[in-house]
Structures are given as structure tokens and as C-alpha cells.
Amino acid sequence: MNISEAKKLKEEAVIKSRMMAKKSNEKLNAIVTLIEDDKCENPNGKLANVPIAVKDNFSTSNIRTTACSNILNNYIAPYDATAIKKIKEAGAVMIAKSSMDELAMGGSNLTANIGPCHNPYDLKRISGGSSGGSAVLVASGVTPLALGTDTGDSIRKPAAFCGVVGTKPSYGRISRYGVIPYASSLDHVGYFTTNVQDAALALEVLAGRDDLDMTSSYEEVLEYSKLLDYEYKDLTFGVIDNVVDVLSDLEVKETFLKLIAELEEKGAKIKHIHFDNDLMKALFPTYFIIANAEATANHSNLDGVRFGVSKEGESMEEVMINSRTEGFSSFIKKRFVVGSYSLFEKNQERVFKKAQKVRRVVCESVLKELSKVDVLIAPASGKVAPYIQNEEKQDELTDEYLIAENHMVIANFAGLPSITLPMGFKDGLPLGVNLTAKAFDEVGMFKCAKAFEDLTGLKDLVKEV
């Protein structure tokens, strides 16, 4: 079921979606809270009666918002996030708050306090994270649209692993007001759909200036879904050779290169781009330092005093210590230690500020190459979704991990629009490709994505369980 089909079904789409959610969630574990009483507020809206899932870090009035962390297990926001207000005004109907990595920190969706989220293509495999629950609900046909957030690749990697379209627009294109933050300079609101047309339509609804988010942009919101016409001869794709060169799975590499050759045969121009390899290997450590430093500052308010789960103590300090000790997993605590270390005054110059300088160099290098092409293109991941039991065993020091599994953070560093869509299958499991465009050139991004989708024919994929 895509957005167009859901609108034709009207109220029946919501009924069907809720039934599927209840039936499938025992296997998928993708839902934190099932929403039974939400109704269509605008039967004439662009998303009228479209069932939608929302990542559990979006504030939703009178509905729990836990970010899959024990410290927020009882938190009910007194207001809707701006993105939630917009989808309701467009007529969408929320049916679920979806699972995520705790506080959006992670890339596996294994750290949620409700347990692992399962990939519908193989329940023994991860969904990817941190927006894995939203990706799974779209991939399994429960909803045609789901909101997520992307700080490093948290929408685009799950999209690859689950065979759906994952869109992260430009920084500031969609308001972040009411979204529990991870890292403020890297966080983007985005979403999952089953095709590029729906992705373009969703942006029409979600984009726009919001005075409650001073980082949101005044850029005009276009009717993106009506601007998808293209000619292959007018498109230029910049292949990131650094990513392709380090792929160890020859089937993934051959699938990607075959499609690039077919694009060229259709008339598209292909340019091969090679970034400084040391710079590419620095992407992940740079991201890890900046993201966790910002997270440490952003989550200092999760203390068990102002809101959230509170644990007893004989003093205010003891209440905070006990609440944070029991409220955060060991995984989150480790990230806070890294963030705190880099923010210590004596470490700022050699750690945090150095990471910021590397980020600037990365952005300058990327923008230089993007000036020559319409989009940068590369496999979204060098592998299919890993098994849940093996997820923690990957070697994070290899070039393949540092480059092929982390290159999409480039779009977060520079605030660029980026989209992942299916490019094929290996052993029945989805493979994804990623496209990144110039800031606020969502039109160009969608055109290139539509051209790629038309080439593969891989759209509206659903794997029911």
C-alpha cells in the first residue's frame, strides 16, 4: 500500500493498517505504542486518511514519547512536534509510535528498551537504526509513510536494509521543534516511503519555516511531486570511488556497477570522484566525537527531576545519580563518557575543536565535487542487513567499515539532501543505493532518484510477515 492507494481506501486504509500492526508486531517488535483513537483531521488534505507511523522521539500530545529509553518511560509530552502538527493538518492518521535505538544513538535498533526490532525480510536480521521501527513498518506494508530522524545515516541505512525509500532533506528544510535531539548540528527530520513519488509528496507537507525552530529555513517549499520529469541526458551522477573500492562483497559491487553502466547507456553522464582516503577514514571518528559531545549537552536535562522516571534519593544529587544510573543503558553511558571527555576544557582543543575542523574540511571537499555533478552516488551499505547475534562483532577499524559503512554522514556534516532507495537483492535481502545532492536541491535529488528507480523498477516493495 503506497500513499495513493491509501487515499483511495480512505478510512479502510487506517483500519487495515491497525489490523496489520497488531498482527505483525509480535514478530517485528517495531511498535512502542499502538494508537487506537487518532482520526483524520482533514479529509481533503494531501495525506487524507493515510496511516502513518512516527519514531518515538517525536513529541506527541497525550501519547507517550519514550525515545526507547527507560528514563523517559513515563513521559507524555504536553504538545505535538511541528512535524506531527503538519501531518495531522494534511489529514494523516497516526497509528503507532515506532521503535528506535535508545535516544537515537546507534545504527542497529538493538538498543531499544523494548528489545531488538526485526527485519521483515529475515526476522533474524537487524532493521538498521536508529529509525529502524519506522523503516520496518513501511517495509512490511503496515504504513505507506513513517517519520524518522537522521543524525549520521539513521534513516538511510535502515532504508537500505529494509528495501524502502529513506529521505533526509536539507538541514533546516523540516522543523525539528518537538523532536528529542541527539546532536543538534547533525539532526535532520526525514521519513520512509515505498517510492520516490511519495517521498516528494511527503516533503511538500513537512517542509517549511517554523519560528519555533530557529534553524529552519525560509527557502520556498515547492510542489516536489510535480517536478519529477527528467531526461537521462540531463543528469550527471558522481560515483564515489572510495566507497566502491573498499567493498569486499563482489556481488554488491557488481550490482552497483552494472546499474551505473545502465545509467550511462541511457544517456546519463557518469563522473568518477575520489576523495582523500584519509579524510574518508576520518568520517566516523569525527562524527562520533561531535555527535556524542552534543548529545551529552542535550541530554543533561534527563535527570529524573524535571520530567521522566525519577528514582528516590536522600538528596537532589542522589536522585539525579540514581535516576540516570537506572535510566540509561550501558551503551548510552559509554557515549556520554566520550562526549564529556571531549568537552573537558583541557581536551576541547585537541579533540572537539579538531573534529570540527575536520568536519569543515570534509564539507569543503564535498561541496567542491558536488559543483561538478547533480548527485553523488554510492552503495548505501556494502552488505545486506547483518544477523542480530553478529551485529556487535564487526571490525570497526577496517577501511570497509570506516568508509563504506559511514560515508553517508557526509550529508549530515554539510546539511545536504540525501536519499536511499533499493538497487537490488542478494539472497532475497535488499541492497540500497544512496544519492546526495546540493543543499536545498531536493528537486534535483528527486529527479535523479526517480531516474534510478525507473531503471531498476524497484518500487512499492512490501514484505509482509
* Domain membership of residue 293 as a residue range: 1-465
Which tens digits make up the pLDDT trace of 175-216?
999 999 999 999 999 999 999 999 999 999 999 999 999 999
What gap in Å lies between CA 261 and CA 83, rounded to an integer? 39
Query: Which pLDDT score, from 0 to 100, does residue 247 have?
Result: 98
Q: How confident is the model at residue 397 (pLDDT cuts 50, 70, 90)?
A: confident
What gap in Å lies between CA 400 and CA 154, rounded to an integer? 19
Query: Which pLDDT score, from 0 to 100, does residue 59 have?
Result: 98
What single DSSP character describes residue 400? I
Q: Catalytic residue at 131?
A: no
Query: Which pLDDT score, from 0 to 100, does residue 396 have?
Result: 85
* Catalytic residue (one of 154, 175, 225, 418): 154
Rg for the chain, CA atoms, rounded: 21
* Catalytic residue (one of 127, 130, 134, 225): 130
Query: Which pLDDT score, from 0 to 100, does residue 393 have?
Result: 66
Q: How far is CA 313 from CA 69, 88, 301, 316, in A?
A: 21, 41, 18, 7
Q: Catalytic residue at 459?
A: no
CA 397: distance to chain centroid? 24
33: cell is 505504542
| Phi, psi of 111, rounded to the nearest 5 degrees | -100, 5
Query: Which pLDDT score, from 0 to 100, does residue 147 have?
Result: 99
**Burial readout 272-311 (b: 16 or more C-beta within 10 A, e: otherwise):** ebebeeeebbbbbebbbbbbbbbbbebbeebbbeebbbbb
Share of the chain above pLDDT 90, in %: 97
Q: Catalytic residue at 130?
A: yes
Which tens digits make up the pLDDT trace of 409-435?
999 999 999 999 999 999 999 999 999
Which tens digits make up the pLDDT trace of 442-454?
999 999 999 999 9
Query: Which pLDDT score, from 0 to 100, does residue 38 have?
Result: 87
* Catalytic residue (one of 17, 24, 46, 55): 55
> What residues have CB less than 8 Å from 62, skipping those under 6 apart?
76
For the chain, what is the domain count?
1
What gap in Å lies between CA 322 and CA 260, rounded to an integer? 55
Which tens digits make up the pLDDT trace of 150-179?
999 999 999 999 999 999 999 999 999 999
| CATH code: domain of residue 250 | 3.90.1300.10
